[in-house]
């Protein structure tokens, strides 16, 4: 029998994601269940749209002052065209847009936290599905490695010789390359999994079932990456494959942590290759440069 003065976490029978902590004084905290979220599909779509808006506004907040320092004036009738050329062609302007991903991700996380916890009234980690999976972590690490290999294969089979926008950004400067590599492992796996397999998937599967939720998360996750990777159909296909696997894992385990592990491994391999590529070319000057077409960093697009 529990002592009324003890605060002991109890697993609810048949539900590994639900916990409740008894307290002698005051009401018990709400039960958290990743498959029975405390938010609806409307809140999820709002956060998703808001995250896209942030990915447009934050880069502009950094880019516009820099454009003014370069002599661009709002009164210029060709201002928009000149700004676009600066954004795509100036190394510093490109780097500023990449740096803007960090505050965009952080603000998105704040929105996710607000929805999942109802501004601190519910537990976040239990509500988002962070619980450790039953299967050993090595299994999810292996899936991440295999997915990366399949991504290379798809990019090789259906790739395009025309460089994608992300390739141009990566190759614009070493600073941009390093920043993208850091974000690929530091924020992207967490924010994107919280968003797609967490905030979006949970109410969708509750409303329409897991198959429908997997399908819609696949569509949203893939569409948002098309501007980055167009016209490379192979890379877009690899992004779709990644989304399918991650969402099926979420549906099978009822947890988000396995998805984050897979995503983190997938991105980590790419980040290592991105950082190593320039040095490999220096060590082996006679070799052909590595084509970064297969680099599938699942970052939200940062310039349209």
Q: Are residues 38 and 110 in the same domain?
A: yes
The predicted pLDDT at position 192 comes to: 95
The predicted pLDDT at position 8 comes to: 37
Q: Which two tokens stand for residue 164?
A: 């994608």
Q: Which two tokens stand for residue 78?
A: 């060709």
Q: Are residues 125 and 17 in the same domain?
A: no
The predicted pLDDT at position 277 comes to: 85
| 76 lies in some domain | yes
| H-helix or E-strand spanning residue 15 | strand 15-20
- The answer to whether 194 and 109 have CB atoms below 8 angstroms apart is yes
Q: Are residues 25 and 36 in the same domain?
A: no
**CA dihedral in degrees (279, 179, 156, 238; nearest 10)?**
150
Which residues constitute the domain of residue 27? 1-31
The predicted pLDDT at position 228 comes to: 79
Q: Which two tokens stand for residue 176?
A: 């941009």
Q: Are residues 50 and 21 in the same domain?
A: no
- Annotate 223-265 with DSSP letters as a single string: HTTHHHHTT-HHHHHHHHHHHHHHHHHHHHHS-SHHHHHHHHH
Is residue 300 left, alpha or beta, with left meaning phi > 0 and alpha meaning psi from -120 to 50? beta
What CA–CA distance (Å, rounded) separates 103 from 116? 20
The backbone torsions φ and ψ at residue 221, rounded to the nearest 5 degrees and listed phi first, read -65, -40
Q: How many domains does the chain have?
A: 2
- The answer to whether 241 and 147 have CB atoms below 8 angstroms apart is yes
Helix/strand/coil percent split, the chain, to 5: 65, 5, 30
| 300 lies in some domain | no
Q: Are residues 147 and 11 in the same domain?
A: no
Q: Are residues 44 and 153 in the same domain?
A: yes
> Sign of the C-alpha dihedral, residues 72, 74, 80, 84?
positive
Q: Are residues 17 and 108 in the same domain?
A: no
Q: Are residues 17 and 76 in the same domain?
A: no
| 19 lies in some domain | yes
Question: Which among 98, 78, 100 has a CA at the least distance from the CA of 88?
Answer: 98
| 137 lies in some domain | yes
| 301 lies in some domain | no
Give residues with Cβ within 8 angstroms of 87, minimum separation 6. Answer: 63, 93, 94, 97, 303
Q: Are residues 248 and 273 in the same domain?
A: yes
Q: Are residues 242 and 281 in the same domain?
A: yes
pLDDT along the chain (304 residues), means of 10: 41 42 47 83 96 95 95 91 91 95 97 96 92 75 95 86 83 93 95 96 95 94 85 89 95 93 94 86 44 32 33
| 283 lies in some domain | yes
Q: Which two tokens stand for residue 179?
A: 């920043």
Q: Are residues 1 and 43 in the same domain?
A: no
Q: Are residues 22 and 51 in the same domain?
A: no
| 185 lies in some domain | yes
| 299 lies in some domain | no
């Amino acid at each position: 029998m529990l002592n009324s003065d003890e605060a002991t976490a109890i697993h609810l029978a048949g539900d590994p994601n639900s916990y409740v902590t008894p307290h002698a004084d005051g009401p018990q905290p709400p039960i958290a269940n990743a498959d029975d979220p405390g938010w609806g599909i409307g809140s999820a779509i709002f956060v998703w749209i808001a995250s896209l808006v942030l990915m447009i506004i934050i880069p502009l907040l950094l880019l516009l002052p820099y454009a003014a320092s370069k002599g661009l004036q709002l009164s210029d009738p060709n201002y928009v065209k000149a700004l676009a050329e600066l954004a795509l062609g100036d190394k510093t302007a490109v780097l500023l847009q990449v740096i803007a991903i960090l505050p965009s991700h952080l603000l998105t996380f704040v929105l996710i936290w607000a929805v999942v916890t109802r501004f601190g009234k519910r537990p976040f980690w239990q509500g988002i599905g962070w619980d450790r999976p039953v299967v050993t972590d090595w299994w999810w690490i292996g899936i991440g490695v295999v997915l990366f290999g399949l991504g290379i294969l798809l990019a090789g089979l259906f790739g395009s010789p025309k460089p994608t926008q992300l390739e141009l950004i990566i190759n614009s400067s070493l600073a941009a390359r390093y920043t993208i590599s850091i974000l690929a492992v530091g924020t992207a796996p967490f924010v994107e999994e919280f968003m797609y397999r967490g905030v979006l998937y949970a109410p969708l599967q509750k409303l329409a079932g897991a198959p429908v939720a997997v399908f819609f998360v696949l569509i949203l996750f893939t569409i948002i990456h098309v501007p980055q990777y167009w016209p490379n159909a192979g890379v877009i296909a690899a992004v779709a494959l990644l989304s399918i696997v991650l969402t099926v894992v979420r549906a099978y385990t009822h947890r988000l942590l396995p998805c984050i592990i897979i995503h983190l491994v997938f991105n980590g391999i790419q980040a290592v290759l991105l950082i190593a590529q320039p040095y490999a070319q220096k060590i082996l000057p006679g070799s052909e440069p590595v084509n970064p077409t297969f680099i599938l960093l699942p970052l939200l697009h940062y310039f349209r």
